[in-house]
């Protein structure tokens, strides 16, 4: 009999006239065509045959399907699926393995006592499959005494309630969909081997261990195959010493002492070596690194200058993703937490908090568990909100606008996020989830999004506030909330500045600002999230928009008089200071375009206010940079200026680390960014990235969105 295949829906599938199938639904494959699977959905009450596009699902093993269907929360199923290493370890759990579970909303260590199947045959719509969970003995004295005194069974936990799994000395089942058959065969073969004995031998249960904190610092624990020295008795310590394997996230020290991160792509003994080495693909390029070749032989493939070979014993797991210690440092509050919470709740409803002043920014925000806590693909939203509201009043009018269409969302944004951030320096994930649930689309609660999509939905579709930008094109005014840089393909600029990109984009598209914006959000040119048009972009700390304003006087490029004509073709003329906007008074225009190579240019008239005196100097209209959003491998972070000081810059990451099932946000001061930006815009272009600070490098190479403000207008818009 052919082995049945199982799947989980990863993209919502809709068909005209039929109810959509939710993501996270598990089913069984009945038939297969070139583009679709015909399958039965498991829903505990009935079975439903349906056709599903292969792109909308992922194949899983039978055992993984059993674990997932016992987890009722569909979003939690998908979260498990995304955390491949954890789910792989959960799928391999056996009796007497150590785990950490969420019990009564507390992380509690325990020992797996039994794998249990739940549900009668046919109750879930498929007679061939039952759901599976784990009976766990909790390693807490109070729980133990209570259970033993009353003769109670061990509590049952589903896969979604298991937070950590101890390292075991056996191969984990593969998780790749195209290898699910092989994984099942491996497990079946292992079962056959163990059953081949005349009398099946069950593993001997070890002595019951005490709570982790009571273990000896050098106690060797052998629980169901766990053979590792546990330092300090902490399960987290055992996890930190887990062996590295292909696909593991790792970190190592570069030759200059910097810690770099990457993924293990190869493990073995290279030619001419006597011990195991590892080939690592780095997260970013480093000078003199490789592309997967060593000594003329290729061991793996990666981009040039991103491959490195090191001794396996010199690698360690990526500390950014290791579980935190079993203890938790108490949060630092100036007064008891409960009293502070009550005071905050009272204050937040009566009085709005102003932007955080420079004098108290570092004391309030610097460190771990600071800023906005990320949860389930929320980094795009966290970085955007932190950048816009922590130190700048540019969008404070959104918090107080009396004509918004959704007062509840405005109240949640102001009270639960902005005020809390400005007063306490920390916003928990549940506060942000309130906002995500009110945005009118379920996908905002769990899917990856872009900052511009979130801002458009929040400001335009939900709150219906006035557009931030009014841009004139072809004698018509268009309203928008952010501006996407658009360049012609032949634009050849190796390392542009934001000023240059904005000017070229406006001139090539024949655009002008109708009025000076109080807040200008500019999205950098990209082909999707992964493909950058420029390897580096120089941030312009001041953005001069004088020459991009409609019906505003401008200076002649040559003599400084009031300009009357502008020429886009002259912009790229190498003889006329490339990169600067070319606008001329009439005498200078005639002189410049008398050159034979410019006679085919087509200068355009500049709209000027009536009766503007030619003798008055043209005032310059400039905007200040206050935040930069960056993206690397689909993860958003932000650099934010927290004051007028040259070096007053912070780096914010809402998911810098993880403890159990929650993310740890972190804010770091990065004065080196201010030092770098204080140089002239011509200077940084020559800086070698390999010699550049990691924060500066990230700012230059990963910039996605720049935010500018006009302080004089922030309070009036």
Q: Which residues participate in catalysis according to the annotation?
A: 379, 635
Place of tokens 């405005």: 410
Pairwise CA distance, residues 490 & 576, whole Å: 19
Cα 563 to Cα 160, 584, 611, distances in angstroms: 67, 5, 14
Query: Which pairs with CB-CB distance under 8 Å and at least 24 residues apart come from 170-178?
Result: 170/92, 170/225, 172/88, 172/89, 172/91, 172/92, 173/61, 173/63, 173/88, 173/91, 173/92, 174/88, 175/64, 175/84, 175/87, 175/88, 175/91, 177/58, 177/59, 177/60, 178/59
Q: Kindly state the tokens that stand for 201.
A: 């031998």
Element (H, E) at 372: strand 371-372
Task: Please give the torsion angle defined by the CA atoms of residues 106, 111, 112 and 114, in that order, rounded to the nearest 10 degrees.
Answer: -120
Task: Please give the torsion angle defined by the CA atoms of residues 698, 699, 704 and 705, in that order, rounded to the nearest 10 degrees.
Answer: 150
Element (H, E) at 116: strand 106-118
Cα 137 to Cα 92, 131, 326, 420, distances in angstroms: 18, 20, 18, 40
First-to-last CA distance in the chain? 71
**DSSP-derived secondary structure for 613-656:** -TTSPPPP-EEEEEEEEEEETTEEEEEEE-SSSTT-EEEEEEEE
Q: Kindly state the tokens that stand for 307.
A: 């491959």
Task: Please give the torsion angle defined by the CA atoms of residues 562, 566, 572 and 574, in that order, rounded to the nearest 10 degrees.
Answer: -40
Pairwise CA distance, residues 648 & 409, whole Å: 32
Pairwise CA distance, residues 274 & 277, whole Å: 9
Place of tokens 């979260």: 79
Beta strands in 171-215 (DSSP E): none
Task: Please give the torsion angle defined by the CA atoms of residues 673, 674, 677 and 680, in that order, rounded to the nearest 10 degrees.
Answer: -140
262 DSSP β-pair partners: 250, 282
Cα 221 to Cα 42, 108, 183, distances in angstroms: 40, 18, 28
Cβ-based neighbours of 265, under 8 Å, separated by 6 or more: 246, 279, 280, 281, 292, 299, 300, 302, 307
| Phi, then psi, of 458 in degrees rounded to 5 | -65, -50
Q: Which of 167, 200, 171, 26 is nearest to 97 (CA)?
A: 167
**DSSP-derived secondary structure for 378-420:** -HHHHHHHHHHHSS--TTHHHHH-TT-S-HHHHHIIIIIIIHH
Contact of 373 with 432, CB cutoff 8 Å = yes
Pairwise CA distance, residues 199 & 197, whole Å: 5
């Amino acid at each position: 009999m052919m082995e049945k295949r199982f799947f989980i829906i990863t993209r919502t599938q809709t068909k005209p006239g039929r109810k959509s199938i939710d993501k996270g639904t598990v089913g069984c494959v009945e038939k297969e065509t070139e583009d679709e699977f015909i399958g039965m959905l498991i829903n505990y009450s009935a079975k439903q045959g349906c056709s599903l596009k292969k792109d909308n699902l992922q194949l899983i093993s039978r055992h993984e399907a059993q674990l997932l269907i016992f987890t009722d929360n569909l979003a939690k199923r998908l979260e498990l699926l995304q955390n491949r290493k954890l789910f792989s370890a959960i799928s391999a759990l056996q009796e007497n393995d150590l785990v950490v579970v969420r019990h009564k909303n507390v992380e509690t260590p325990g020992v797996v006592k039994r794998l249990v199947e739940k549900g009668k045959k046919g109750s879930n719509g498929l007679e061939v499959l039952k759901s599976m969970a784990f009976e766990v003995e909790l390693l807490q004295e109070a729980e133990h005494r209570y259970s033993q005194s009353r003769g109670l069974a061990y509590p049952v936990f589903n896969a979604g309630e298991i937070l950590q799994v101890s390292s075991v000395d056996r191969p984990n089942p593969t998780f790749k969909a195209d290898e699910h058959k092989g994984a099942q065969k491996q497990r079946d073969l292992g079962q056959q081997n163990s059953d081949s004995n005349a009398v099946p031998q069950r593993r001997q249960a070890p002595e019951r261990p005490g709570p982790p904190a009571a273990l000896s610092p050098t106690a060797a624990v052998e629980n169901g195959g766990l053979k590792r020295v546990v330092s300090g008795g902490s399960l987290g310590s055992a996890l930190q010493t887990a062996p590295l394997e292909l696909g593991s996230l790792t970190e190592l020290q570069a030759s200059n002492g910097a810690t770099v991160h990457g993924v293990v792509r190869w493990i073995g003994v290279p030619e001419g070596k006597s011990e195991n080495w590892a080939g690592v693909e780095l997260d970013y390029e480093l000078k003199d690194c490789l592309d997967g070749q060593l000594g003329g032989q290729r061991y793996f493939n990666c981009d040039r200058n991103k491959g490195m070979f090191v001794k396996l014993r010199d690698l360690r797991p990526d500390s950014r993703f290791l579980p935190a210690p079993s203890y938790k440092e108490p949060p630092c509050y100036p007064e008891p937490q409960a009293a502070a919470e009550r005071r905050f709740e009272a204050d937040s409803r009566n009085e709005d908090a102003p932007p955080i002043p420079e004098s108290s920014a570092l004391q309030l925000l610097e460190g771990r568990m600071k800023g906005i806590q990320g949860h389930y693909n929320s980094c795009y939203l966290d970085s955007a909100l932190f950048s816009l509201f922590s130190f700048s009043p540019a969008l404070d009018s959104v918090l107080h606008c009396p004509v918004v269409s959704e007062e509840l969302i405005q109240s949640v944004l102001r009270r639960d996020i902005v005020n809390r951030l400005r007063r306490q320096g920390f916003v928990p994930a549940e506060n942000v989830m309130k906002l995500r649930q009110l945005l009118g689309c379920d996908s905002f609660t769990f899917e990856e999004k872009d900052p511009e999509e979130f801002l458009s939905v929040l400001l335009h579709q939900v709150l219906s506030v006035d557009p931030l930008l009014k841009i004139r094109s072809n004698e018509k005014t268009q309203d928008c909330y952010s501006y996407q840089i658009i360049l012609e393909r032949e634009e050849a600029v190796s390392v542009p500045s934001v000023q240059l990109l904005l000017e070229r984009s406006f001139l090539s598209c024949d655009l002008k600002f109708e009025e000076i914006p109080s807040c200008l959000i500019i999205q950098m040119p990209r082909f999707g999230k992964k493909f950058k048009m420029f390897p580096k972009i120089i941030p312009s700390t001041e953005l001069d928009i004088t020459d991009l304003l409609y019906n505003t006087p401008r200076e002649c490029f040559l003599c400084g008089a009031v300009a009357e004509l502008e020429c886009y073709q002259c912009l790229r003329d190498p003889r006329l200071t490339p990169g600067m906007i070319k606008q001329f008074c009439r005498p200078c225009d005639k002189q410049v375009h008398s050159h034979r190579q410019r006679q085919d240019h087509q200068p355009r008239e500049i709209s000027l206010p009536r009766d503007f005196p030619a003798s008055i100097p043209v005032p310059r209209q400039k905007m200040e940079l206050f935040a930069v959003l960056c993206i690397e491998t689909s993860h958003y972070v932000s650099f934010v200026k927290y004051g007028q000081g040259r070096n007053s810059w912070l780096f914010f990451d809402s998911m810098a680390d993880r403890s159990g099932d929650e993310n740890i946000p972190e804010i770091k001061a990065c004065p080196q960014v201010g030092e770098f930006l204080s140089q002239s815009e011509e200077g940084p272009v020559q800086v070698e990235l390999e010699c550049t600070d990691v924060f500066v490098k990230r700012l230059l190479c990963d910039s996605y969105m720049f935010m500018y403000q006009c302080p004089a207008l922030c309070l009036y818009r």
